[in-house]
Amino acid sequence: MIPVIGLLAASGILKGILAILTQFNVVDSASSTYTLIDAMSSSMFFFLPIIVGFTAAKRLGSDPIIVAIIGGVLVYPSVVAMANPDAEGYHVYAQIGSTIFNADFFGIPIALPESNAYAYSIFPIIVAAWLTARIEPFLKKYIPAVVRMIFAPLLEVFIVSTLVLVLFGPIIMFLSGGIANGINWVLGTNYTIAGLIIGGFYQCLVIFGLHWAVIPLIAAQIASDGSSPLNAIVSATMIAQGGGALAIWIKTRQLKIKALAGPATISAFCGITEPAMYGLNLKYGRVFITASIGGAVGGLLTGLLNVNMYGFTGAFVGFPSFINPAGLDQSFYGFLIASAAALVVSFVLTYYFGFKDSDLDAEREVKKVRLGRREPAGV
């Protein structure tokens, strides 16, 4: 993820700016201006499987172009359309629990995620890069050199895309459905306890792209009730991850880390946590833990203060989403309290216990695998 962290942060900041312009009626969400700026800010996330496929392939020793093409399969418009319940020709071939098998491949039912959840995700394409690295040497060994340029990529794209769509994708979607059901159950049990649990663990779902299972729950809450307590909890976890990155930015003396931590902090406060998590908090594992503790505290207070959220945009940039259309109430003030607590707890714990510059000296050298050999990443 390191090669794309800067672009993720820039895209997250641009999304935040667009949200502010929209909320204060500077830009109309139905205008072409909005559409164009949204494309600028969203393209990085929408095509993330292609971009991460390229970088993952370089690390794992497979052909980056081939894996990028496989990423393109996951976000191809007609594949996305097949998963859309409103699309013409949409069918339900089978259903196991909350997992709907809405397409088939040579008669084998497969589960294509709604809302294009393969876009914005990284786990399926990383699996694809690993599989390609295993298959590629075998194909190169047995396919004659005279036709290898054509048939090796052909077989790699077909075999790996099939495995991801038929096997690994449905597994991920099945896990997502189970997580969504679990979150619904916790929310229905007790909002305060739900805030503590979801606040502490929600960003773990983001790591694997499983958090997209939560989006339909938020949409359903807003559609039925006009507000979403779940989204309020999620907002606190974004601020907590930003608090961890902010602590690193203030504490470190390494300029390269400061250059990464500053934009990652801003991006998290704009509601995009991936730059902070992939670039810093996960890399220095204690930071992710301390930031998650901050998220748990923020989520606990969100539930305790009965905070509701009346829009989708979260974190600090989404403060208008906490204003009740009927007028200011406890949701807005609770948002301020919970967000401040999440930030302070995450910052303090990270500053004193989560990170020190000596952690940089303990970094492992990133290596890649190529044809059975381990080589330095720069080779």
Cα 51 from Cα 127, distance rounded (Å): 14
The band of 115, judged by pLDDT with boundaries at 50, 70 and 90, is low
How do the domains of the chain map onto residue ranges? 190-379
Q: Is the pLDDT of residue 113 over 60?
A: yes
Q: Per-residue pLDDT averaged across 320-337, rounded?
A: 87
Residue 342's pLDDT is what? 97
Residue 373's pLDDT is what? 38
Q: Which residue has the higher pLDDT, 112 or 339?
A: 339
Residue 361's pLDDT is what? 66
The band of 340, judged by pLDDT with boundaries at 50, 70 and 90, is very high
In this predicted structure, which of 81-90, 235-244, 345-354 has the lowest mean pLDDT? 81-90
% the chain with pLDDT above 90: 31
Q: Is the pLDDT of residue 63 over 50?
A: yes
Residue 377's pLDDT is what? 38
Q: Is the pLDDT of residue 288 over 60?
A: yes
Question: What's the mean pLDDT when you consider all of the chain?
Answer: 83
Q: What is the dihedral of CA 229, 234, 240, 246, to 10 degrees?
A: -120
The band of 193, judged by pLDDT with boundaries at 50, 70 and 90, is very high
Read off the pLDDT of residues 206-221 as tens digits, 9 standing for 90 and up: 877 677 677 778 877 8
Residue 93's pLDDT is what? 64
% the chain with pLDDT above 70: 87
Read off the pLDDT of residues 146-191 as tens digits, 9 standing for 90 and up: 888 889 889 999 999 999 888 887 777 677 777 778 888 888 888 9
The band of 295, judged by pLDDT with boundaries at 50, 70 and 90, is very high
H-state helical runs in the chain = 5-23, 32-46, 48-60, 64-74, 77-82, 123-142, 145-163, 169-189, 191-208, 215-225, 229-251, 255-269, 274-276, 285-304, 330-349, 358-361
Residue 98's pLDDT is what? 57
